């Protein structure tokens, strides 16, 4: 299809007139060149050119993104299967912007179906889910031997680090973080996604102190009302009993994990811990919940309702999901509309000197020289099928243009009073040839339409009490554990692999 462009000169002004041959509903009479309007009859004044209307001429498309577009600044995390760098964009749009760049080696990922599944799940979910309290994906691209995820840089560090420094949080502080997490989980559930690995290490803070959920490798898609899955995965201390007994689970497992996290924030350790995995699991399944006497009645009640072993009796486990949680009296002073719009001041604002400040991250990594080592590995054509469709550019980036993972079970040092190693466990089965595209769940899922979430409760009257701030950070204890970016383990342990099915 062609269009004619005429350029007319009248003094210093130039006007362009386009005359397109558009068919009416009855069709056009005759074929050939379109007739000129009587107002512009006669040969065009000046010059004209014919331009073919193609995708490339109308929409040139996004810039070509690759490792050359980013300058390495610092190392933020490192695991067996990859690294996370703080980087600066040095070419194209968003010039000078700071990001976190997660780099994964393809050859190590394709050796293990679990790692391929983790990478595929995180890439797909980060593209499809947009929320103020979920980490944003800006770009995804690949080279012959590596995968790259360019994420927003969350310079506030991990919630784990701040909780470790404080020991416990005051209830007002815990309420703020739990409220933002509740909105994030509710959004995931509305999309049919269960998170399944909620813990302090996977919750990070941005520069203003608001939370962001990260690491979506253990998520499960297409879990709507009535659907269940049986995958044995998560981190033991935060895993719901229905996962441990493999009776089938749904989104209610995230509310159990939020209850375990709430208990952790208010007491200094998860609710059920022991010296080994088996005893920890036994406590989760049949142990008695011990609540310290200093908790307020509302906090005690909410923890008890989160940690109901019957998922049907658990708060959030019914059709209302997050809306039921929001109505609990523990959150009576929360204005959910203001919270979602991030108009509520966080209890802790990271002390950052600049956009490049990495003081909230482990200095064991930030002191290292940032090097993205060359990788000349060449995968076979069949192995590369696992990474088809990986490349991505966020819509927000397109708008501006127009103007190692390892989830093998591992031992991890506990935080504070917790004497049990936190042991992430990952699912096993995955076909590496599914590609990086959202796909329906396995045959075991029983699908049902998702009912709309209940409307949030009306805003409460203004409260005279403001959230109490967290004390300024002092020192921090070092712990060998999986870092918040999900780039692999730091300290491999001899924990045997769990066995389940996806």
pLDDT attached to residue 222: 78
Q: Helix or strand or coil: residue 304?
A: helix
What rounded mean pLDDT belongs to the chain? 74
Place of tokens 């020192």: 475
pLDDT attached to residue 475: 42
Burial-class residue 72 by CB neighbours within 10 Å (0-12, 13-18, 19+): middle
pLDDT attached to residue 23: 38
CA distances from 381 to 138, 378, 388 (A): 27, 9, 11
Which residues have C-beta within 8 Å of that of residue 430, sequence separation ≥ 6? 113, 114, 116, 117, 120, 502
pLDDT attached to residue 253: 94
pLDDT attached to residue 452: 43
Average pLDDT (242-257) is: 93
Point out the least confidently predicted range of 32-36, 341-345, 379-383, 448-452: 448-452
The conformation of residue 138, written as its DSSP 8-state character, comes to: E
Point out the least confidently predicted range of 30-34, 114-118, 220-224: 30-34
DSSP 211-236: EEE---TT-B-S--TT--B----EEG
pLDDT band of 218, cuts 50, 70, 90: confident
pLDDT attached to residue 65: 86
Six-digit token pair at 369?
């020289």
Six-digit token pair at 434?
């599914």
Secondary structure, 3-state, 399-419? HHHHCCCCCCCCCCCCCCCCC
Contact 135, 122 (CB under 8 A): no
Residue 416 has pLDDT above 80, yes or no: no
Point out the least confidently predicted range of 122-131, 229-238, 452-461: 452-461
Contact 484, 160 (CB under 8 A): yes
479 vs 110 pLDDT, higher one:
110
Point out the least confidently predicted range of 107-116, 237-246, 427-436: 427-436
Residue 322 has pLDDT above 50, yes or no: yes
From the CB of residue 471, how many other CB atoms can be counted at a distance below 10 Å?
11
The conformation of residue 464, written as its DSSP 8-state character, comes to: S
* 22: region left, alpha or beta (phi > 0 left; psi from -120 to 50 alpha): beta
pLDDT band of 105, cuts 50, 70, 90: confident
Query: 204: which strand partners?
Result: 158, 212
> Dihedral of CA 476/197/484/266: which sign?
negative
Contact 250, 399 (CB under 8 A): no
Residues annotated as binding site for ATP?
A: 102
Instruction: Out of 115, 197, 215, 324, pick the active-site residue.
Output: 197
From the CB of residue 398, how many other CB atoms can be counted at a distance below 10 Å?
14
Q: Helix or strand or coil: residue 119?
A: helix
pLDDT per position as a tens digit, 16-66: 333 333 333 344 444 444 444 444 445 455 555 554 554 444 444 556 888
Exposure on the CB side of residue 437, measured as CA atoms within 13 A: 8
Exposure letters 183-214 (e unless 16+ CB within 10 A, then b):
bbbbbbbbbbbbbbbbbbbbbbbbbebbbbbb
DSSP 476-501: -----S--TT----SS---PPPP---
CA nearest neighbour of 106 among 460, 436, 363 = 436
Q: Helix or strand or coil: residue 287?
A: coil
Residue 109 has pLDDT above 60, yes or no: yes
Six-digit token pair at 474?
């002092």
Say how far apart CA 323 and CA 457 lie, in whole Å.
8
Say how far apart CA 174 and CA 199 lie, in whole Å.
14
Say how far apart CA 423 and CA 482 lie, in whole Å.
10
389 vs 302 pLDDT, higher one:
302
Six-digit token pair at 93?
């749009």
Six-digit token pair at 462?
């203004």
Which residues have C-beta within 8 Å of that of residue 473, sequence separation ≥ 6? 162, 165, 351
Six-digit token pair at 159?
């919630």
Average pLDDT (188-196) is: 92
Residue 154 has pLDDT above 50, yes or no: yes
- 298 a catalytic residue: no
pLDDT per position as a tens digit, 438-486: 433 333 333 333 344 445 555 554 443 444 333 333 444 434 455 666 6
Residues annotated as binding site?
A: 102
Six-digit token pair at 65?
């993104």
Residue 5 has pLDDT above 60, yes or no: no
pLDDT attached to residue 419: 42
82 vs 23 pLDDT, higher one:
82
């Amino acid at each position: 299809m062609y269009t004619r462009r005429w350029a007319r000169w009248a003094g210093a002004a130039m006007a362009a007139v386009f005359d397109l041959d558009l068919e009416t509903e009855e069709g056009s009479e005759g074929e050939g060149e379109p007739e000129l309007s009587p107002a512009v009859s006669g040969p065009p004044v000046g010059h004209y050119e014919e331009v073919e209307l193609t995708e490339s001429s109308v929409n040139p498309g996004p810039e070509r993104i690759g490792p050359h577009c980013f300058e390495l600044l610092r190392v933020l995390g490192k695991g067996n299967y990859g690294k996370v760098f703080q980087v600066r964009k040095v070419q194209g749009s968003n010039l000078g912007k700071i990001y976190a760049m997660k780099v994964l080696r393809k050859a190590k990922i394709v050796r293990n179906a679990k790692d391929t599944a983790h990478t595929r799940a995180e890439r797909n979910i980060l593209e499809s889910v947009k929320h103020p309290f979920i980490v944003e994906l800006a770009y995804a691209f690949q080279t012959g031997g590596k995968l790259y995820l360019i994420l927003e840089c969350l310079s506030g560090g991990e919630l784990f680090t701040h909780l470790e420094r404080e020991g416990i949080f005051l209830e007002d502080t815990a309420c703020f973080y739990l409220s933002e997490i509740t909105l994030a989980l509710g959004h995931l559930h509305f999309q049919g996604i269960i998170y399944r690995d909620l813990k302090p290490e996977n919750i990070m803070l941005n520069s203003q102190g608001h939370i962001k959920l990260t690491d979506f490798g253990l998520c499960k898609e297409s879990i709507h009302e009535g659907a269940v899955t049986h995958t044995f995965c998560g981190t033991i201390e935060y895993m719901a009993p229905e996962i441990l007994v493999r009776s089938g689970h749904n989104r209610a497992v995230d509310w159990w994990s939020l209850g375990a996290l709430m208990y952790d924030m208010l007491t200094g350790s998860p609710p059920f811990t022991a010296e080994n995995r088996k005893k920890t699991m036994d406590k989760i399944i049949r142990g008695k919940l011990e609540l310290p006497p200093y908790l307020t009645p509302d906090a005690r009640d909410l923890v008890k309702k989160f940690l109901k072993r019957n998922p049907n009796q658990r708060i959030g486990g019914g059709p209302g999901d997050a809306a039921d949680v929001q109505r609990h009296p523990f959150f009576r002073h929360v204005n959910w509309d203001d919270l979602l719009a991030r108009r509520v001041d966080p209890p802790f604002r990271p002390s950052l000197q600049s956009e490049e400040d990495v003081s909230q991250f482990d200095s064991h990594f930030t002191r290292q020289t940032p090097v993205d080592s060359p990788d000349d590995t060449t995968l076979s054509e069949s192995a590369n099928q696992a990474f088809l469709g990986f490349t991505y550019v966020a819509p927000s980036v397109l708008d501006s243009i127009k103007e190692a993972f390892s989830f093998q079970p591992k031992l991890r040092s506990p935080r504070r009073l917790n004497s049990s190693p936190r042991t992430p466990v990952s699912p096993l089965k995955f076909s590496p040839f599914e590609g990086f595209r959202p796909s329906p769940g396995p045959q075991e899922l029983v699908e049902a339409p998702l009912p709309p979430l209940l409307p949030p409760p009306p805003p409460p009257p203004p409260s005279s009490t403001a959230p109490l701030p967290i004390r300024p950070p002092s020192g921090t204890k070092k712990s060998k554990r999986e870092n918040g970016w999900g780039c692999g383990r730091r300290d491999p342990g001899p924990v045997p692999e769990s066995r389940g099915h996806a």
